[in-house]
Amino acid sequence: MLPFRARASPGWDCRLKAAGGGLICAMLFAPKDADSSGWRWDHSYAALPGIFLTRTLPVAVPSPEIVIFNRPLARSLGLNPEALESLAAVFAGNEIPEGALPLAQAYAGHQFGNFTNLGDGRAILLGEHLDPAGRRFDIQLKGSGRTPYSRGGDGRATLGPMLREYIISEAMHALGIPTTRSLAVATTGEKVMRQEILPGAVLTRVAASHIRVGTFQYAAAHDDLDALRTLADYTVARHFPELLESDRKYFDFLEAVIERQAALIARWLHVGFIHGVMNTDNMALSGETIDYGPCAFMDDYRPDTVFSSIDRHGRYAYDQQPQIARWNLARLAESLLPLLHAERGTAVDLADEALGAFENRFRGHWLLGMRHKLGLLTAEADDAALVQELLDWMHASHLDFTNTFRALSKETAIAAPAFVDAGFLPWHARWAARLARQPQSPAEVVAMMRAHNPVVIPRNHRVEEALTAAVEQGDLGVTQRLLEVLSDPYALTAPVAFTAPPPAGAESYQTFCGT
């Protein structure tokens, strides 16, 4: 191994292979001094080859003001909420914290199946913050102005979509689903033109990283094997360090990413979440949910539910998300082919082997979660059929997804009155018999179900109510109340108003990308 220091950052030990190129990095997590705000900056991504980034600054705004700040998240990161909460200029991009090193990341992506070169067109990575445990988090400003990758866009964001990402990402975190999170939303004092003139805003996003399937597609499109290998080694070191010494590191890396995505998509389906824009640039290799654009939660159980106004053919419908995840992962595998094996045919066989396991991995995670939702603490061969029969009945009966599962968890051996019909009773008899065959007590069954069936989700009409109050009346109180309820989604004491399905006519509800 030859020392490689020129591009290394303080938190990494990077060495160049003597043969074959590529950068091997291992995290040292050396202690760093925190400033008065608690920031402990590091810049490992900035040490990557230059094709992956461009150094650039946020564009200043006239009148920054913090409208919402995530104090619990700040504390969990080892930051000082009292010091940060007044720094609107930082969270709007007017001031750069000491030690930060702003840059825009380059990546590509298949958007609705069409490949294009992209990059952070309205986002700036300030750097990586190391929390007191040494964990590494990207700190990104979203909506911070034009970058070299803006492709003619204005680089700005508006208040409604930024608050939507804040609300939904925090709800996903409370539900226990891996996700990026939101530290703050600051208004800018600017007006931004979309379908109408709207108040501008900047969101501060916290992520395990922003490395995407599209980042690897970008490297592959440049036909730069050294850059591709360097990116892969970096991603393994950052997210899969247990694979660093593997004899087949890149194959194991692909398998590990597939496993995390299979688990993530299953968890989306367990709560009725629809991402809405599962382009390859919106799939993070960390396994976190990222980019909450036209996302929403399903009310009535309809497998083909689509909310996104731009998804006219249902490519990213609720029931299509597993297939799209596999499609996206196939694009990652294509990008990794030169690393999987020097002989292309063998590399393709290895990629096919890894991808071929996706469906079983996903089905395993999905079925385990559905067993939990139905209080099945053991496994039987007919469990998948039992689950599907319930879902088919819910679909035919136009029943609310969240409330149906929660109602079942109230009394696991007695049919709730709302479910007493010819379609439900035969299924309920089979479910009761299935519960009776497992050794766990009724109390254990109920506890399992209540831990996996939320009482509240971010109901679309409640989210819209909060966004309307904030954008049109300047009232953040509705958003704060919604966040308070969503912070404990399994609580039996959740206000009834937040558990109610949407009013009549909500079937036409649409979400929009925000760009």
Dist. CA 253–CA 235, nearest whole Å: 9
Whether 146 and 186 have beta carbons less than 8 Å apart is answered as no
From the list 42, 154, 281, 291, the catalytic residue is 281
| CB environment 408-428: b (16+ within 10 A), e (fewer) | bbeebeebeeebeeeebeebb
In whole angstroms, how far apart are CA 363 and each of 228, 302, 358, 383, 422?
31, 19, 8, 12, 29
Dist. CA 415–CA 424, nearest whole Å: 9
Kindly report each contact of residues 493-502 with a partner whose C-beta sits within 8 Å and lies 24 or more positions away, as own/partner: 494/455, 494/456, 498/456, 498/459, 498/462, 499/402, 499/403, 499/406, 499/455, 499/456, 500/459, 501/299, 501/300, 501/400, 501/403, 501/459, 502/299, 502/459, 502/460, 502/461
State phi, psi for 199 to the nearest 5 degrees.
-70, 135
Catalytic annotation present for 281 = yes
Written as six digits, the tokens of 367 are 């079925």
Other CB atoms within 10 Å distance of the CB of residue 182: 25
SS3 content of the chain, % helix, strand, coil (to 5): 45, 15, 40
Dist. CA 264–CA 366, nearest whole Å: 10
Dist. CA 124–CA 59, nearest whole Å: 10
**Secondary structure string (H, E, C) spanning 388-445:** HHHHHHHHHHCCEHHHHHHHHCCCCCCCCHHHCCCCHHHHHHHHHHHHHCCCCCHHHH
Dist. CA 142–CA 166, nearest whole Å: 12
In whole angstroms, how far apart are CA 396 and each of 393, 417, 423, 500?
5, 18, 9, 20
Dist. CA 193–CA 499, nearest whole Å: 35
State phi, psi for 178 to the nearest 5 degrees.
-55, 130
Dist. CA 36–CA 23, nearest whole Å: 34
Dist. CA 72–CA 85, nearest whole Å: 12
Other CB atoms within 10 Å distance of the CB of residue 6: 8
Residues recognised as catalytic: 281
